[in-house]
């Protein structure tokens, strides 16, 4: 009896170390080879045959460590008494992983320290393992609030700086969120906390090809507001028959809502030509293509990059409606002016609204990225308005709440052109609560449970 219990404990220990090794290897790939965690981690889990429970632990460790890397780095540097630049990269990643377990999980401190030290011993050398042991013991001397008190700017005088440290975001992103939330401190903290929660797996059926009932009978729950959406509580979406057959795809409910909103705006006159200006990889194009069936319209899906245009073609494969995929630069349209009745511009952006899905993205993005993206967004929106006929509608969408990519882009383009006006977008997201004062809509993870999608609807005069 006691032998089998001991065996059970040993198995559990070995499994836990497998999870930590996978997390460590994922961190190395992300930080050394610029890999994306959401791509590299599933591959590692598959390769090593990790079971579901350990995969969940490895995912929590990888995502949690990456999200708060900036905070853990400051703590580790303090405890190491030297700059990270003076440490071996594998040691840095192991210390981040150890700090995460000590400060943000329920892993017992002795296990957090000893398993991390083992990783360093295996992957670096004994001397580095002793060093890691000493550093992590110091990290564990206080909790995250204690470290925030010691290392973060005071909450009273620099709220953004304090929250950036406490909730693992770069300060420039915290300030951008604060501006978009009009300085509401409580909402700001809730938004940052929501960014550190795993995002639900949201699915969308392609209208005319699949229906929500099929997803529900496969174990998903109907989405709260999108008539085409469902949420998968557990399991791999890639295994669902509807997803494999292209009748449904993975798509955030916020993305569905802004796309459906464009199709709902009343327009007088013809409703035959729809344009998706920035279509790759094709999630919104697939939904739009299904929605063209109502008025019997055709969809032109445009994408600048060839390989992403191929993904759009894949997403549209099997759609019974009329559609075409075109590789083109939408800032310099090859189509005539005023050629379309509805235009979707889902603009390239910083992606600050989807940080919960891409744990490393917040540290890769720089505030210097905003200026060039904004210039591109302005140029695309100007082309979008030129492309729609008078009375037609343009939906300007970003998955970023940064004001320099949202409201002020629209303000500047409307001011410079004078031939388009905002339409209140809120009525086209029926049932969705807390949409603010309008006319534009800003969704938030902490309010709506969606990515922070922004939508402005503009009618050509």
d(CA 143, CA 154): 17
- Per-residue DSSP letter, 167: T
- Please tell me whether residue 384 binds ligand SAM under the rule CB under 6 A: no
Q: Indicate which single residue of 73, 211, 329, 339 sits in contact with ligand SAM (rule: CB under 6 A).
A: 329
- Please tell me whether residue 159 binds ligand SAM under the rule CB under 6 A: no
User: Which residues make Cβ contacts (< 8 Å) with residue 26, sequence separation at least 6?
Assistant: 35, 37, 40, 41, 44, 58, 62
| Residues in binding site for S-adenosyl-L-methionine | 278-284, 303, 329, 346
Report in angstroms the alpha-carbon separations of 212 from 116, 206, 221, 293, 425.
Answer: 45, 9, 9, 17, 25
Q: Indicate which single residue of 137, 264, 308, 310 sits in contact with ligand SAM (rule: CB under 6 A).
A: 308
Q: Which candidate in 58, 288, 399, 443 is catalytic?
A: 399
| Whole-number CA gyration radius for the chain | 24
- CB-CB neighbours of 347 under 10 Å: 26
Bond preceding residue 439 cis, omega within 30 of 0? yes
d(CA 459, CA 390): 8
CB 278 within 8 A of CB 241: no
CB 257 within 8 A of CB 443: yes
User: Which residues make Cβ contacts (< 8 Å) with residue 100, sequence separation at least 6?
Assistant: 61, 64, 65, 68, 72
Tokens of 88: 């071996």
Stretch that binds ligand SAM, among 99-107, 230-238, 303-311, 403-411 (CB under 6 A): 303-311
Stretch that binds ligand SAM, among 43-51, 89-97, 127-135, 328-336 (CB under 6 A): 328-336
For ligand SAM, the closer CB: 54 or 252: 252
For ligand SAM, the closer CB: 117 or 380: 380
Q: Which of residues 46-65 bind ligand SAM (CB under 6 A)?
A: none
Q: Indicate which single residue of 237, 283, 384, 401 sits in contact with ligand SAM (rule: CB under 6 A).
A: 283
Q: Indicate which single residue of 64, 237, 254, 282 sits in contact with ligand SAM (rule: CB under 6 A).
A: 282
User: Which residues make Cβ contacts (< 8 Å) with residue 456, sequence separation at least 6?
Assistant: 395, 396, 406, 407, 410, 422, 425, 439, 440, 441
3-state secondary structure of 421: strand
What is the nearest approach in angstroms of ligand SAM to the Cβ of residue 363? 20
For ligand SAM, the closer CB: 39 or 185: 39
- Please tell me whether residue 303 binds ligand SAM under the rule CB under 6 A: yes
- Could you confirm whether 79 is annotated as catalytic? no
For ligand SAM, the closer CB: 249 or 392: 249
Binding mask 248-277 toward ligand SAM (x if CB under 6 A, else -) reads -------x----------------------
Interface with ligand SAM: number of residues (CB under 6 A): 18
| Residues in binding site | 278-284, 303, 329, 346
What is the signed CA dihedral for 30, 190, 367, 28, rounded to 10 degrees?
-10
What is the nearest approach in angstroms of ligand SAM to the Cβ of residue 272? 21
What is the nearest approach in angstroms of ligand SAM to the Cβ of residue 27? 27
For ligand SAM, the closer CB: 107 or 399: 399
For ligand SAM, the closer CB: 138 or 304: 304
Bond preceding residue 281 cis, omega within 30 of 0? yes
Q: Indicate which single residue of 346, 360, 405, 440 sits in contact with ligand SAM (rule: CB under 6 A).
A: 346
- CB-CB neighbours of 344 under 10 Å: 28
- Please tell me whether residue 313 binds ligand SAM under the rule CB under 6 A: no
- CB-CB neighbours of 182 under 10 Å: 9
- Please tell me whether residue 305 binds ligand SAM under the rule CB under 6 A: yes
Residues with a known catalytic role: 399
Binding residues (CB under 6 A) for ligand SAM: these are 255, 278-284, 302-305, 308, 329-331, 346, 348
């Amino acid at each position: 009896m006691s032998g089998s219990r001991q065996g059970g404990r040993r198995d559990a220990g070995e499994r836990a170390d497998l999870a930590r090794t996978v997390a460590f290897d994922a961190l190395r790939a992300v930080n050394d080879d610029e890999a994306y965690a959401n791509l590299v981690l599933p591959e590692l889990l598959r390769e090593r045959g990790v079971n579901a429970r350990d995969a969940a632990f490895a995912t929590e460790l990888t995502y949690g460590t990456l999200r708060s890397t900036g905070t853990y780095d400051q703590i580790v540097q303090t405890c190491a008494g030297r700059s990270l630049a003076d440490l071996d990269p594998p040691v840095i990643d192991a210390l981040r992983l150890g700090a995460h377990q000590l400060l943000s999980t329920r892993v017992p401190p002795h296990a957090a320290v000893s398993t991390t030290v083992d990783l360093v011993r295996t992957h670096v050398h004994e001397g580095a393992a002793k060093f890691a042991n000493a550093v992590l013991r110091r990290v564990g001397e206080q909790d995250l609030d204690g470290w925030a008190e010691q290392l973060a700017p005071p909450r009273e005088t620099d709220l953004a700086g304090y929250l950036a440290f406490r909730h693992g975001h770069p300060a420039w992103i915290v300030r951008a969120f604060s501006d978009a939330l009009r300085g509401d401190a409580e909402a700001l903290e809730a938004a940052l906390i929501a960014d550190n929660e795993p995002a639900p797996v949201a699915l969308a059926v392609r209208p005319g090809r699949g229906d929500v009932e099929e997803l529900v009978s496969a174990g998903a729950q109907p989405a709260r507001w999108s008539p085409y959406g469902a949420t998968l509580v557990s399991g791999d979406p890639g295994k669902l028959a509807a997803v494999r057959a292209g009748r449904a795809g993975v798509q955030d409910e916020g993305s569905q809502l802004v796309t459906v909103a464009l199709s709902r705006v009343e327009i007088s006159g013809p409703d035959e030509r729809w344009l998706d200006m920035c279509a790759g990889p094709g999630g919104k194009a697939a939904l739009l293509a299904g929605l063209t069936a109502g008025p019997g319209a055709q969809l032109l899906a445009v994408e600048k990059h060839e390989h992403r245009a191929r993904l759009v073609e894949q997403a549209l494969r099997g759609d019974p409606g009329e559609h075409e995929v075109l590789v083109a630069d939408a800032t310099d349209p090859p189509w005539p002016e005023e050629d379309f009745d509805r235009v979707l511009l889902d603009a390239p952006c910083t992606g600050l609204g989807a940080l919960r899905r891409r744990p490393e993205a917040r540290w890769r993005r720089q505030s210097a990225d905003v200026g060039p993206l904004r210039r591109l967004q302005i140029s695309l929106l100007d082309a979008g308005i030129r492309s729609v006929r008078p009375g037609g509608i343009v939906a300007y969408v970003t998955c970023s709440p940064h004001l320099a990519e949202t409201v002020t882009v629209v303000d500047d383009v409307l001011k410079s052109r004078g031939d388009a006006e905002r339409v209140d977008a809120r009525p086209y997201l029926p049932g969705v609560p807390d949409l603010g004062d309008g006319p534009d809509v800003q969704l938030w993870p902490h309010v709506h449970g969606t990515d922070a999608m922004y939508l402005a609807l503009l009618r050509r005069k």
